[in-house]
Structure 1
């Protein structure tokens, strides 16, 4: 194949009167063929690795009635193996300790110029080919026969079998003339059902049921793309973001981008974020009896969670999440994210004591999703006082009693305003038992020192304090001021056991203040 393409390149240059564009097209095919050969060699085997499989964490949990409630997701059937273990029988294409992952049914699919997608019927995969490549395995290209151009567009062949372009009729756009004159979204685009499949950066969207997406999902019970989203690569807004978006493959990593979709004329105006209040803060002597109307109540969960080096949080999913931002005192440089925090009262934020630096000015940002692109309903408030725990101390190995309170600037005892994206978390009134399901959230650094601009979250389980204090896990580094939790995401460079401060969210769900935890790795 490669030799034929090299011959075609020479023929195009030496014999035909080729334009620079023609030469680039042929050269591109040669490079793509080489890339396909490399990918085929490197990824012929199943890419699942033990580094990503953290089912070992269940061994740290104390025994209980293992199948009540049923721990198996995606219609898995639970079977008690003995007093302290269970087994899930997972329907295809699911797998994992709790049927929370999807099998790599694509490892033998070999979708050469396409994307392998997962289905719920045998053989549980399908190749979605890029035009003009043809099914079933996307190996053969057939430009303009049949014509891929829609809405009366005319197909024109390029120099190679895989190159073509569509001459679209008036008012139609897109690579295949699929975007009509009325293709636009209203409000935030949750009801958008148009045909755009290109991002603002010009990348082509991945199919929603692509294995490349599903293989990164932490828990498919919360990730209903296989059941609820259309099986195409069209831009949608299933989680109530600011506008339609899609997943893309960039440098062979999974990420997402907003789509190149036009907003309908007259569909709404934008407002500016709420800036810090200039009025003097009233000194609160007591915490008001009545604060926000509710605590620990996130916005209704949307359809799909986005994954981005962890899972990308949905708007309103963690309305108590705070970004603590700092800058040197006496300067006018921009504030920058420094630590996470949790809103517990209108004028009070809980954060980590090791985040308090008295040489800096501080502010908090509430209701934010992307710190580089603040939404209109974001609230920004100054910090007027920081109070560390009286027994806070640092050692080379750990921070102890690592909590602090931030008092915010406001007026008449009111600082933050309750909205759909800004709410308080509830303070706990109980001791959380082992195996309690919690969630960590924030913009903090990973083990690769990467800092996300977008709010991320990941599920964890609270682990037995006794087990965590064993020599092979934490030993004497763990004390009563900490909770031991297991990160269910994993990966070779991920923190697999961490210490965090938890606050109660709802009856069966908790959230953790997660800044820079102590981390150890699985043996």
Structure 2
């Protein structure tokens, strides 16, 4: 799947939602999207702006209830994908998830010895978000308590060099590392390259998976495949030259040469 929830299209997303409901009655691993394919371990000490979204009530406690990723852009502000807080992913209305938390400073989601879990006070979902095309896939979480200023990642400006085709970037997450449901408990990252809009349009001209729209999206990967975000990584950051340029959003499969990952173009849609 791949929206890193709709990575394999609407049918896959519906199936994923059913699987995600399983932790409600058992300790199945949480998975709201994808984990980094072809990557390596990363530390939150070096990347303090990477956070996980968790709800033990909805996704069980084995991995701190993780179901999506996010990124700190203000002491009380976290950005994530709009679809991460959608009823189709959560299995219920957001208003019925009182234990929604942002997990920061924790490399290993199996342990609570490190890091903190901060309550979410308010959720704003982009009113322009289109769940059919995946356009405008962004949400803003306002935290009940501030995080350290040192954990804030700056956002690239529209048209900045960081988001131009050919730029080297890295994506972070706790998602599926194989595309077959092998979820990581430790944070991982992988290097990818921002691709030409024309390449992205050819890959996603419009189907049940989604349609590439350069005004709110960018895509990145490796022309040979094998490097990508995956299920469980949704909402996680795509970072280039120390700036946030994208949020894991959607795609077809994980790490396919002809199907690069698609990311929300943060510089154009961030509130």
How far the C-alpha of 1:384 sits from its partner, in A, is 1.4
How far the C-alpha of 1:348 sits from its partner, in A, is 0.7
Which residue number in structure 2 is paired with residue 429 of structure 1?
A: 157
The correspondence for 2:201, drawn from 469, 484, 499, is: 469
How far the C-alpha of 1:505 sits from its partner, in A, is 5.7
How far the C-alpha of 1:347 sits from its partner, in A, is 0.5
Q: Is the 8 A contact 1:425 1:504 kept in 2?
A: no
Which residue number in structure 1 is paired with residue 173 of structure 2?
A: 442
Distance 1:456 1:366 in 2: 14
Pair 1:483-2:221 in alignment: no
TM-score, length basis structure 2: 0.63
Q: 1:502 to 1:313 in 2, by over 3 A?
A: closer
Pair 1:326-2:55 in alignment: yes
Which residue number in structure 2 is paired with residue 262 of structure 1?
A: none
SS in structure 2 of the partner of residue 469 of structure 1: helix
Q: 1:379 to 1:510 in 2, by over 3 A?
A: same
Which residue number in structure 2 is paired with residue 459 of structure 1?
A: 191
Q: 1:489 to 1:458 in 2, by over 3 A?
A: farther
The correspondence for 1:369, drawn from 107, 110, 124, is: 107
More helix, by proportion: 2
Distance 1:325 1:485 in 2: 26
How far the C-alpha of 1:491 sits from its partner, in A, is 4.1
How far the C-alpha of 1:336 sits from its partner, in A, is 0.3
Which residue number in structure 1 is paired with residue 129 of structure 2?
A: 392
TM-score, length basis structure 1: 0.34
How far the C-alpha of 1:463 sits from its partner, in A, is 0.4
Pair 1:311-2:48 in alignment: no
Q: Is the 8 A contact 1:426 1:504 kept in 2?
A: no
Distance 2:47 2:224 in 1: 18
Q: 1:369 to 1:488 in 2, by over 3 A?
A: farther
Distance 1:438 1:512 in 2: 10
Unaligned runs of 5+ in 1: 1-306
Which residue number in structure 1 is paired with residue 247 of structure 2?
A: 513
Higher normalized contact order (CA 8 Å, seq sep 6+, divided by chain length): 2
Q: 1:348 to 1:379 in 2, by over 3 A?
A: same
Distance 2:229 2:117 in 1: 31
Distance 1:401 1:393 in 2: 7
Q: Is the 8 A contact 1:482 1:499 kept in 2?
A: no
SS in structure 1 of the partner of residue 55 of structure 2: strand
Distance 2:235 2:101 in 1: 23
Q: 1:364 to 1:502 in 2, by over 3 A?
A: closer
SS in structure 1 of the partner of residue 127 of structure 2: coil
- Rg: which structure is higher? 1
SS in structure 2 of the partner of residue 350 of structure 1: strand
How far the C-alpha of 1:430 sits from its partner, in A, is 3.4
Q: 1:499 to 1:355 in 2, by over 3 A?
A: closer
| Two-structure CA RMSD over aligned residues (Å) | 3.3
Which residue number in structure 2 is paired with residue 350 of structure 1?
A: 79
Matches within 5 A, 1:199-218: none
Spell out, residue by residue over 1:186-234, the C-alpha distance to the aligned partner (whole angstroms, 9 max, x if none).
Answer: xxxxxxxxxxxxxxxxxxxxxxxxxxxxxxxxxxxxxxxxxxxxxxxxx
Q: Is the 8 A contact 1:482 1:501 kept in 2?
A: no
Q: Is the 8 A contact 2:44 2:107 kept in 1?
A: yes
